[in-house]
A and B are shown apart, each in its own frame.
Chain A
Amino acid sequence: MNPTTSFVIISLLKIVGIVFLVILPMVSYAVYAERKVSALIQDRLGPNRVGPAGLFQPIADAMKFLLKEDFTPAHVNKFYYWLAPCLAMVPAITTIAVVPFGSTLFGVPMVIADINVGVLFVFAIASLGVYGIVIAGWASNSKYPFLGGVRSGSQMISYELSLGLAVVPIFLLIGNLRLTEVVRYQIDHGWMVFPFAGDWKNPAGWLLAVPMWISFAVFAIAVFAETNRLPFDLPEAETELVGGYHTEYSSMKFALFFLGEYAAMITGSAIIVTLFLGGWHFPGVPDGSHGWIFGLINIFVFFAKIAALLFIFIWVRFTLPRFRYDQLMRLGWVFFFEIALVNIFLAAAIITFFDR
């Protein structure tokens, strides 16, 4: 087999394996987890009818979404009304292409595309995600979706700034935008926010953890805003806008918006894990070159970290109330933007002082 053919086949295997066998089931079970955890927090039972402990609920939900009548209201702009749900789902899944989800398995690096502009690719694709919501709001030809679309547009643009600025300290430190290099650095020097995993005796590593924690907080909160999760779910605030941008959608088209939000949460968590929490690295576990079993453990560690972050996403949603829209904008522009800017100077000063 020539190198091009084997490259194409291995890439296809990775794409199919990671997207269809891991991410999409994870999306549907994130919905189940959301319902179970919210039930736990609110002292209810949650779904418990289909299968043991309601474990087959996502399958029942999927059947319901598929079999429901697919209703297109008469007043909508048909083409864009159909286009919008696809645009909401695709960027969320595309982002995973550059994220290293494991070390190596049988000598094959566990990343779909290891390009040298890794994190910029993530931001570029994530910035396209806003089109799905804006177009849904506009094509619905109705006032509440329109308000939701407009809100979402300005919210996502505002928080993209904090998102982009928050990661600058990391790349000041590493000097490379490649995400595999970010993971490699964290294996050698300790995770960005927990330097104990590497050379924990080094004081510079602990001092650098201060700007990294600030970056981590700003980045994580911006991801909440980018994925329209509570406390920043103003584009679909049901008390103000009925259902926001997806008011006019039903059955599978609604499901695409709904699942797109969870896919965005998973890829957002994957980016957070890769940048701040050591990626697939766990202290004491060697990488995949020591045997395929370690390669599998690395992949498992990566997705376990994502699952832990998803739990925090759900926890926050059922703990905090929603912000008012002007508070949300003020928070983004006046608070996080400035903090991220000052944080860059702080990180640069520490890096220069210790000559890392």
Chain B
Amino acid sequence: MPSFLFWLFAIVMLVFGALVVINRNPIASALSLVVCFLGLSALFMALDAFFIGIIQVLVYAGAVMVLFLFIIMLLDLRAEERRKMNWFAFVGGFLVALSLLVQILAVIGSTRMAKQTFPPLASPHADDVRNVGLVLFGNYNLPFQVIAVLILVATIGVIVLSKRQLR
């Protein structure tokens, strides 16, 4: 991939990722997160992982964030916008995030994987949809089915719980 595209989308992701936290307006935060997801998907696609990139847009930007927006729109936004900035929480959060970053960098720096350079893909035009499907329904068929049942149970559980509240 041309490296300027990597830098472009990486910067887009970081800027909008920061805007998610900085924005006072929850709608603006949610939309920044959408742009952040789009940048992430572009990075995946630049690595020839078209399937993962598209699923990122389809599931997160297209479905999950629309539901987020939907809920946020029905809430009272004014309270959030009026709230004063809590400096204590800001500094505390900053320190926690900083220590996490330092730890991650230390862990990554100490592994062997960080130092080796990977060879380029054997075929950059591999059919990744087929490969993901073969792995999911071949090697990992049972875990895949179990997860499907788990999600079904969770869906039914949500419906049962929310219906009980209505009554």
Residues of A within 8 A of B125 (CB): 116
Cβ–Cβ contact B61 & A127, under 8 A: yes
Cβ–Cβ contact B50 & A116, under 8 A: yes
Q: What is the bound-complex CA distance between A146 and B55, given in angstroms?
A: 29
Q: Is B46 an interface residue (CB 8 A)?
A: no
Say what secondary structure dominates the interface of chain A: helix
Nearest residue (CB) in A for B126 is: A116
State how many angstroms separate the Cβ of A329 from the closest Cβ of chain B.
14
Residues of A within 8 A of B31 (CB): 131, 135
State how many angstroms separate the Cβ of B118 from the closest Cβ of chain A.
22
Cβ–Cβ contact A116 & B129, under 8 A: yes
Cβ–Cβ contact B67 & A120, under 8 A: no
Interchain pairs with CB closer than 8 A, number: 68
Contacts of B131-153 to chain A: CB distance below 8 A: none
State how many angstroms separate the Cβ of B49 from the closest Cβ of chain A.
10
Q: Is B66 an interface residue (CB 8 A)?
A: yes
Contacts of B44-71 to chain A: CB distance below 8 A: 50-51, 54-55, 57-58, 61-63, 66-67, 69-70
Known: A127-B61, A128-B62. A115 touches B70 (CB 8 A): no
Q: Is A88 an interface residue (CB 8 A)?
A: no
Residues of A within 8 A of B57 (CB): 124-125, 127-128
Indicate which residue in A116, A123, A146 contacts B128 across the interface (CB closer than 8 Å): A116
Q: Is B73 an interface residue (CB 8 A)?
A: yes
Nearest residue (CB) in A for B41 is: A124
State how many angstroms separate the Cβ of B150 from the closest Cβ of chain A.
19
Residues of B within 8 A of A193 (CB): none
- Per the CB 8 Å criterion, the residue count for chain B at the interface is 23
Cβ–Cβ contact B50 & A127, under 8 A: no
Indicate which residue in B62, B67, B73, B129 contacts A149 across the interface (CB closer than 8 Å): B73
Per-residue contact bits, chain A 150-162, to B (CB 8 Å; 1 contact, 0 not): 1001101100100
Q: Is A59 an interface residue (CB 8 A)?
A: no
Q: Is A18 an interface residue (CB 8 A)?
A: no
Q: Most chain-B Cβ atoms within 10 A of its Cβ — which of A117, A131, A176? A: A117
Known: A80-B27, A116-B127, A124-B62. A131 touches B73 (CB 8 A): no
Indicate which residue in B61, B66, B128, B129 contacts A157 across the interface (CB closer than 8 Å): B66
Q: What is the bound-complex CA distance between A117 and B58, given in angstroms?
A: 12
Cβ–Cβ contact B67 & A157, under 8 A: yes
Contacts of A69-110 to chain B: CB distance below 8 A: 80
Per-residue contact bits, chain B 55-93, to A (CB 8 Å; 1 contact, 0 not): 101100111001101100110000000000000000000
State how many angstroms separate the Cβ of B81 from the closest Cβ of chain A.
11
Residues of B within 8 A of A176 (CB): 127
State how many angstroms separate the Cβ of A179 from the closest Cβ of chain B.
13
Contacts of A116-147 to chain B: CB distance below 8 A: 116-117, 120-121, 123-125, 127-128, 130-131, 134-135, 138, 146
Residues of A within 8 A of B74 (CB): 150
Q: What is the bound-complex CA distance between A177 and B69, given in angstroms?
A: 30
Nearest residue (CB) in A for B50 is: A117
Known: A117-B129, A131-B34, A157-B63. A138 touches B73 (CB 8 A): yes
Residues of A within 8 A of B128 (CB): 116-117
Q: What is the bound-complex CA distance between A131 and B38, given in angstroms?
A: 14
Residues of A within 8 A of B51 (CB): 117, 120
Known: A154-B70, A157-B67. A127 touches B129 (CB 8 A): no
Residues of B within 8 A of A157 (CB): 63, 66-67
Cβ–Cβ contact A134 & B63, under 8 A: no
Q: What is the bound-complex CA distance between A120 and B69, given in angstroms?
A: 23
Cβ–Cβ contact B66 & A134, under 8 A: yes
Nearest residue (CB) in B for A153 is: B70
Residues of A within 8 A of B62 (CB): 123-124, 127-128, 130, 160
Q: What is the bound-complex CA distance between A134 and B54, given in angstroms?
A: 22
Q: What is the bound-complex CA distance between A176 and B131, given in angstroms?
A: 12
State how many angstroms separate the Cβ of A162 from the closest Cβ of chain B.
14
State how many angstroms separate the Cβ of B53 from the closest Cβ of chain A.
8
Known: A117-B50, A117-B54, A124-B58. A177 touches B73 (CB 8 A): no
Residues of B within 8 A of A (CB): 27, 31, 34, 50-51, 54-55, 57-58, 61-63, 66-67, 69-70, 73-74, 125, 127-130
Residues of A within 8 A of B (CB): 80, 115-117, 120-121, 123-125, 127-128, 130-131, 134-135, 138, 146, 149-150, 153-154, 156-157, 160, 175-177
Q: What are 5 inter-chain pairs, A to B, with CB distance below 8 A?
A: A80-B27, A116-B128, A117-B54, A117-B128, A127-B62
Closest 4 CB pairs of A and B: A127-B62, A124-B57, A124-B58, A120-B54
